[in-house]
Copies of this chain bind each other. A is one copy, B any other.
């Protein structure tokens, strides 16, 4: 049963978002491409396989430690393509601008986009600009859509059809930085925080791992809804259970402190530079070492495994020996985080 009005939680990436997608978008737009439910659609153009993805970015504030809305707009879309097994190639950039935005701010955003595009080796090839009156949007929203090329052998990586019990869960570094950096910028202007967003294009790290030939069964970037949401996604797609070992999950001390102070669970806080991989157990060490030799993977770690027990559930084994089921967010935790 759908809610009668759209709530903030419908944009959280959690349960309400999933119900909106299922009950509305899939209902009307039914087709075999959508049905795969990956971060990107896997398309055919002649003999080529293409990944195609879109995201609108509404982050508040526009500028935060470690980046700005333009940084996320490029990195987020590059990462959605990369975790689908694609080599990101082309990006579109569509701007909805509130009348009165300083040209200099827009220029900083565009310049950051160009810089991240160079870093990720993608080209911004087409765009659009709309301007709305004051009060009709909040400064600046950006949509980026992206196209990547997918090698046949990676075509199933975005949907995890190869996941099996015993596979290891690996992450490339510490969680919750992006969410806490934006939170600090939004609520404590002037307050000096040393937390900066992890916003980064992950495509070279991912291709380094794939190039080792390691058996990677699934990848997903842990953005809205955080690591916990990806964990739930893995159990939902694979129908296996997963166990996550809390002590193995890297969280920076300052981030953990801020989460505790403000009452956030770091497992649900957004990241913009973290990929979760499901890898064949025999290759797990190789994957971690390959990540560690990349600047964006220094703190890579095995954080859990796929299990036959509790199918469809992600269980967190806490530092003090307890067990906690990780479920998708029911409402909205941090709106406008990306």
A124 at interface, CB cutoff 8 A: yes
Knowing A56-B95, A125-B33, A129-B20 touch, does A103 contact B3 (C-beta < 8 A)? Answer: yes
Q: CB-nearest residue of chain B relative to A110? A: B28
> For chain A residues 181-213, which have a beta carbon within 8 Å of chain B?
none
A99 at interface, CB cutoff 8 A: yes
Contact B41 A5 (CB under 8 A): no
Size band of the A side of the interface?
35 or more
A335 at interface, CB cutoff 8 A: yes
Chain B residues within an 8 Å CB radius of A123: 29, 31, 33-34
Residue from the set A11, A28, A31, A149 with the largest chain B CB neighbour count within 10 Å = A28
Convert A114-133 into 0s and 1s, putting 1 for each residue whose CB lies closer than 8 angstroms to a CB of B.
10010000011111111111
Partner pick for A131 among B8, B90, B92, CB 8 A cutoff: B8
Chain B residues within an 8 Å CB radius of A25: 93, 110, 127, 129
Residue from the set A12, A17, A52, A126 with the largest chain B CB neighbour count within 10 Å = A126
Convert A14-42 into 0s and 1s, putting 1 for each residue whose CB lies closer than 8 angstroms to a CB of B.
00010011001100110101100000110
> For chain A residues 79-104, which have a beta carbon within 8 Å of chain B?
89-90, 92-104
A320 at interface, CB cutoff 8 A: no
A118–B303 Cα distance when bound, in Å, is 45
A172 at interface, CB cutoff 8 A: no
A131–B124 Cα distance when bound, in Å, is 26
A262 at interface, CB cutoff 8 A: no
Contact A125 B31 (CB under 8 A): yes
A48 at interface, CB cutoff 8 A: yes
Contact A132 B55 (CB under 8 A): no
Of A139-147, A247-255, A279-287, the stretch lying at the interface with chain B is: A139-147
Q: CB-nearest residue of chain B relative to A38? A: B126
A10 at interface, CB cutoff 8 A: yes
Contact B132 A94 (CB under 8 A): no
Chain B residues within an 8 Å CB radius of A47: 46-48
A302–B114 Cα distance when bound, in Å, is 43
Contact B143 A6 (CB under 8 A): no
Contact B147 A107 (CB under 8 A): no
Partner pick for A41 among B24, B94, B126, CB 8 A cutoff: B126
Convert A37-81 into 0s and 1s, putting 1 for each residue whose CB lies closer than 8 angstroms to a CB of B.
000110101111010111111101000000000000000000000
A4 at interface, CB cutoff 8 A: yes
Q: CB-nearest residue of chain B relative to A76? A: B128
Q: CB-nearest residue of chain B relative to A137? A: B137
> What's the nearest-Cβ distance from chain B to residue A243, in Å?
31
A269 at interface, CB cutoff 8 A: no
Contact B11 A129 (CB under 8 A): yes
A2 at interface, CB cutoff 8 A: yes
A29–B94 Cα distance when bound, in Å, is 13
Chain B residues within an 8 Å CB radius of A124: 29, 31, 34
Please list 18 pairs of residues, one from A and one from B, whose beta carbons are closer than 8 Å in the complex, sorted by A's number: A6-B131, A7-B131, A10-B129, A11-B131, A12-B131, A24-B107, A25-B110, A28-B110, A33-B126, A34-B125, A34-B127, A43-B89, A52-B126, A54-B145, A132-B336, A133-B336, A137-B137, A137-B138
